[in-house]
Structure 1
């Protein structure tokens, strides 16, 4: 790209390794070809700068390994088209073609003279820098050929958005990978998710949580609220929140990640009201309400297992939540009753009242 170069090794839809380096055709043009002159010395400087950047990731890439190299972006497409016009490929980028093209650039000597099939006039000025970076990539990764993909960032965004409407949401795959990586108890997560969504259905209208995004957030939070346990049991809610906020979660916007991290951070002990307030009073308060529903679902399944649990009804007021258990059940389960009494103390700190009876 113009400012950076991204590297992804993946299988099917799953990214296995992702890296980004701050080297791009625009920035390298500014640093090495500012006046448009193309000389072997300047090209070598750009190439060396790119190789130095690549040193930080090339061992990791080689360690992961790959079977096929695919490139996208205007630079790679242009290089492939010029190499094809020179008879060195059928449209793909090849190591032999890059060497030939580099010698051609030296003969031109100036970007204003780059009149070759495949190079658009508006791309001439950044073409030498892009080629130097691409050659550095080929040499660092020992590539001989790279095919070209027409799809890039815009197509990826459209694919993601379309997938959300056809049950192929990339976010679902992302969460699944996160849960697997941090050894989440899948059965417990499913129990908590079911109870949290049941509670949401009963209070959504009263609490203004009828948007589909509220259901999604609560569902996601229920599934990943225990990822921090893989780091340490002590303050695992804080560990989990940090992982979610700072991980590269494909398909999630930064705001989605921030809100999801806040739900995980607030799922036990103190709810950081000031952090929620940073989202704005209305949105922050709705997120606190989602957090309360998540906390209640977790308390309900505090004792892990498949034991038969009672049906309970939820009702809500402006700043209160009432849980109605079958008659006599709480008296027969004093530990659960104690849990909810303690929970009432935590929620009082954020201005909410909860009553279990």
Structure 2
């Protein structure tokens, strides 16, 4: 795959649809270094719109869409291929997330990716690591509106990633919904956060780190208050002693409306107690003495990850290679299937609405189509679909994984109408078309012969697919003929025509 492009003369953009705030960062590549030219942030508090059944209410959706309409003006000068929009915990949790995403995509005219918690953690570390010098292991902590990410890494490489379901907005609703500040409410919030942390504390303490770094709004707010109070010098290091002193200061106020701490912004008052409780629990559970701060965050990580995709260092390619090794996939055979699938795609492109990223998806599905054989040969396509849907795949968004899972899960055997509908819902007619091409490519390599496969000629005309092979070639391949006849029957069941000769 060739993705090298000159980016120095164009803008790049990352949009982060967070549970508390929406962020946008627009940048330009300057001699290999990403320079932020525009950065905006708006408090949307999407997570506050989640009801007890995890449905995102209309008011929260409207707040988000209004914000995105304003962002859209800033994004007008950015080429779509140089833009990435990611969504985090609130939309991971929301049962009606697809509804909001569809509306957001209409506003922005660009896909929105809901990323998994560990993928969010990885991207946060990428963003933070770009701002830090020196070596040694680092613990990076990012407290968001709905989740908190923890990453141990060395230089630019994350080693341990985790995302816990606790954030300043969700904890505000849970423990400080009435705005009252009390020792009892604060202790309950700290205890709840420590219970969440108990699931990862042992592994993180065993891994170890030399320095701890915080990022994003909650930790920045606490750091600013501590600096404004004169407790910390210019470096803004937060200490365990500062946390104890800040607790006493918070408890001098009965309600969040009374919080008048130096440096605390108005829109941070309501969520300050919850954010503080999470930081306090982190200090206690992980035995922190000090916590530094970095301006790097998810959006900076998205920008660097996006740049990597254009410079042939796409983390998703590394993930595919890792999966091939872990599940003992024959990479040479997978590559032959991928080459055939891409050749068929090139021939059918005029008849299908295919984007460059669709070709990449098809290639990766071909490279991983046998992943399920590590579990069982019987029904291996189903096992493969499950693995790809539920594994943590670095670099892949949730929609990416869903589409990859569907392609692998439906690359053989008969397809039911509900499975076709799942393809159409996840990726439209283009994904259905990719699935058909992958099925044909796998079928043509059924014998696993290492001999070169003569490139078949494919013609697609509406619902009709026609394959043509060199004269006499099929006569010596009865297995391929039988496979094609069976596939012909499968196509007919979908209202399609497959002819071959």
TM over 0.5: yes
Give the Cα separation in 1 of the matches to 2:271 and 2:475. Answer: 75
Higher fraction of helix: 1
Task: Tell me what 2:117 maps to.
Answer: none
Structure with bigger gyration radius: 1
TM-score by length of 2: 0.63
Instruction: Report the 3-state secondary structure (helix = DSSP H, G, I; strand = E; otherwise coil) of the residue aligned with 2:436.
Output: helix
Task: Tell me what 1:148 maps to.
Answer: 293
Give the Cα separation in 2 of the matches to 1:35 and 1:355. Answer: 68
1:238-272 deviation per Cα after TM superposition (whole angstroms, max 9, x unaligned): 11112223334444444333322221111111123
What is the CA-CA distance between 1:44 and the residue it aligns to?
A: 1.9
For structure 1, which segment, 134-143 or 20-29, has the greater mean C-alpha deviation from structure 2 after superposition? Answer: 20-29
Instruction: Describe the shift of the 1:237–1:66 C-alpha distance in structure 2 as closer, same or farther (beyond 3 A).
Output: farther
Task: Tell me what 1:49 maps to.
Answer: 192
Give the Cα separation in 2 of the matches to 1:285 and 1:110. Answer: 54
Q: Given the alignment of the two structures, is residue 295 of structure 1 paired with residue 439 of structure 2, yes or no?
A: yes
Instruction: Report the 3-state secondary structure (helix = DSSP H, G, I; strand = E; otherwise coil) of the residue aligned with 1:23.
Output: coil
Instruction: Describe the shift of the 1:30–1:174 C-alpha distance in structure 2 as closer, same or farther (beyond 3 A).
Output: same
Q: Given the alignment of the two structures, is residue 32 of structure 1 paired with residue 175 of structure 2, yes or no?
A: yes
Give the Cα separation in 2 of the matches to 1:134 and 1:116. Answer: 17
1:189-245 deviation per Cα after TM superposition (whole angstroms, max 9, x unaligned): 21111111011111211x314422331221121122122222222111111112223
Q: Given the alignment of the two structures, is residue 218 of structure 1 paired with residue 368 of structure 2, yes or no?
A: no
Give the 5 Å matches for 1:49-68. 49-68=192-211
Task: Tell me what 2:124 maps to.
Answer: none
Instruction: Describe the shift of the 1:313–1:28 C-alpha distance in structure 2 as closer, same or farther (beyond 3 A).
Output: closer
Asked whether the equivalents of residues 88 and 96 of structure 1 are also in contact (C-alpha less than 8 Å), the reply is no
What is the CA-CA distance between 1:75 and the residue it aligns to?
A: 0.9
Asked whether the equivalents of residues 384 and 409 of structure 2 are also in contact (C-alpha less than 8 Å), the reply is yes
TM-score by length of 1: 0.86
Instruction: Report the 3-state secondary structure (helix = DSSP H, G, I; strand = E; otherwise coil) of the residue aligned with 1:314.
Output: strand
Task: Tell me what 1:127 maps to.
Answer: 272
Q: 1:238 aligns with which of 378, 382, 388?
A: 382
Asked whether the equivalents of residues 3 and 26 of structure 1 are also in contact (C-alpha less than 8 Å), the reply is yes
What is the CA-CA distance between 1:181 and the residue it aligns to?
A: 3.7
Task: Tell me what 2:334 maps to.
Answer: 189
Asked whether the equivalents of residues 278 and 284 of structure 1 are also in contact (C-alpha less than 8 Å), the reply is no
Q: 1:199 aligns with which of 330, 337, 344?
A: 344
1:131-167 deviation per Cα after TM superposition (whole angstroms, max 9, x unaligned): 1111111221222233323233333444444444444
Aligned residues: 356
Task: Tell me what 2:123 maps to.
Answer: none
Instruction: Report the 3-state secondary structure (helix = DSSP H, G, I; strand = E; otherwise coil) of the residue aligned with 1:310.
Output: coil
Give the Cα separation in 1 of the matches to 2:486 and 2:183. Answer: 73
Task: Tell me what 1:227 maps to.
Answer: 371
Asked whether the equivalents of residues 236 and 292 of structure 2 are also in contact (C-alpha less than 8 Å), the reply is yes
Give the Cα separation in 2 of the matches to 1:272 and 1:145. Answer: 57
Give the Cα separation in 2 of the matches to 1:290 and 1:144. Answer: 53
Give the Cα separation in 2 of the matches to 1:337 and 1:13. Answer: 51
Instruction: Report the 3-state secondary structure (helix = DSSP H, G, I; strand = E; otherwise coil) of the residue aligned with 1:125.
Output: coil
Q: 1:258 aligns with which of 393, 402, 409?
A: 402
What is the CA-CA distance between 1:116 and the residue it aligns to?
A: 3.5
Instruction: Describe the shift of the 1:278–1:32 C-alpha distance in structure 2 as closer, same or farther (beyond 3 A).
Output: closer
Give the Cα separation in 2 of the matches to 1:179 and 1:91. Answer: 45
Task: Tell me what 2:237 maps to.
Answer: 92
Asked whether the equivalents of residues 226 and 240 of structure 1 are also in contact (C-alpha less than 8 Å), the reply is yes
Task: Tell me what 1:69 maps to.
Answer: 212
Asked whether the equivalents of residues 70 and 149 of structure 1 are also in contact (C-alpha less than 8 Å), the reply is yes
Task: Tell me what 1:342 maps to.
Answer: 486
Give the Cα separation in 2 of the matches to 1:109 and 1:296. Answer: 68
What's the C-alpha RMSD, in Å, of the aligned pairs?
Answer: 3.0
For structure 1, which segment, 116-125 or 58-67, has the greater mean C-alpha deviation from structure 2 after superposition? Answer: 58-67
Give the Cα separation in 2 of the matches to 1:124 and 1:18. Answer: 30
For structure 1, which segment, 275-284 or 317-326, has the greater mean C-alpha deviation from structure 2 after superposition? Answer: 275-284
Give the Cα separation in 2 of the matches to 1:185 and 1:11. Answer: 31
Give the Cα separation in 2 of the matches to 1:53 and 1:217. Answer: 36
